[in-house]
Amino acid sequence: MKTVILRTPGGLETLEVAEARDPGQPGPGQIRLAVRASSLNYHDLLVANGTIPTEDGRILMSDGAGVVEAVGEGVSEFQIGDHVVSGFFPQWQDGQPFEGVGNFAGTPGDGTDGFAAEYVVRSATDFTLAPTGWSHAEAATITTAGLTAWRALVVEGQLMAGETVLLLGTGGVSIAALQIAKAMGARVVITSSSDAKLAEARKLGADHTVNYAEYPEWAEEVLAFTRGRGVDHVVEVGGPGTLGQSLRAVRVGGRVALIGVLTGREGAVPTGLLMAKQARLQGLVVGNRRQQREYIQALEQNRLHPVIDRHFGFEQLAEAFRYQENGGHFGKIVVEW
């Protein structure tokens, strides 16, 4: 079978389409999946470009969606022909995060082989059913980006109708968060350096948009929109380069979910401002299997579908990553067999 692997020390030029042995039939508690799609995330890019080191020959991609081809003994949750989607932390089924989650040792495409393969055999509990009526490409957006947005706003943030959410940029997490927030009756402010992208965000229901290239001190624009009060929630994807303004934009007692580090992994935290705002700053990474199932129920109930910017073939994975690096996408980028 075909796979896409990474040769160390990494770099997009080291991605290789390679033949691998078919994984065979599932054992007890396992399923065999014909993988049909994956989606690109910043974490995948960091593995592919060598920023996050991994083993030579690692099969890439943390997100996987496809069709169940066989079920092992004792599996009752899935049947042959079911459409399923993978989990980012297979070992995290429920409850609070634990030490084994923090090191990514069980995360596909990082600590273990991922879904850039025609077939996989994994534990049935590594997957959930995909939303009814979704394509495989759409389902592949759930694992990382979609579930991160859901956990940030709903699980941890306890988002309520009438609250205001600030989203930074128009990547996969932010656009998923925009859809979730609007479905729950919240107001949304979103930033971008592209007026064209902001126009697309308004079509999805964004209530206010700010071009941060035009307004470098964009927190002031957010405060003006909220009449000085500030937003209730910030989904913070930038990290140290944007955290200060996010804290200025959040209301007293509001919440900032730190889910990305696009501007760097280390930097100063404005602790005085954090204290003055009495804001809650929480770092989080994706979520567990129970949360993924609840998110999928919400997607089905609200008849939501993800925004996909562009489709690539799996053999075009390096090209897809270069497209991601350029930052021109709106929503998700997917690869398909």
State how far the Cα of 106 lies from the Cα of 178, in Å rounded to an integer: 29
What angle (nearest 5°) sits at the alpha carbon of residue 80, between those of residues 76 and 82? 85
Is the distance from CB of 258 to CB of 284 less than 8 angstroms?
yes
Alpha carbons 85 and 239: distance in angstroms, whole number: 29
> What are the domain boundaries of the chain?
2-144+287-336, 157-283
Q: What does the pLDDT read at residue 264?
A: 66
2-144+287-336 against 157-283: fold identical: no
Tokens of 8: 């160390």
Against a cut of 0.85, is the pTM above it? yes
Q: Are 239 and 257 in contact (CB under 8 A)?
A: no
Measured N-to-C along each axis, helices 289-302 and 172-183 cross at an angle, to the nearest 10 degrees, of: 60
Enter the CATH code of domain 2-144+287-336.
3.90.180.10
Question: pLDDT value at position 260?
Answer: 81
Residue 264 class from Cβ within 10 Å (0-12 exposed, 13-18 middle, 19+ buried)?
Answer: exposed
Tell me the CATH number of domain 157-283, given options 2.60.120.260, 3.30.470.20, 3.40.50.720, 3.40.50.300. Answer: 3.40.50.720
Spatial separation of the C-alpha atoms in residues 208 and 205, rounded to whole Å = 9
* pLDDT mean for each 10 residues of the chain (337 residues): 96 97 98 98 97 96 98 98 98 92 93 98 98 98 98 98 98 98 98 98 98 98 98 94 96 95 73 94 96 98 98 97 96 96
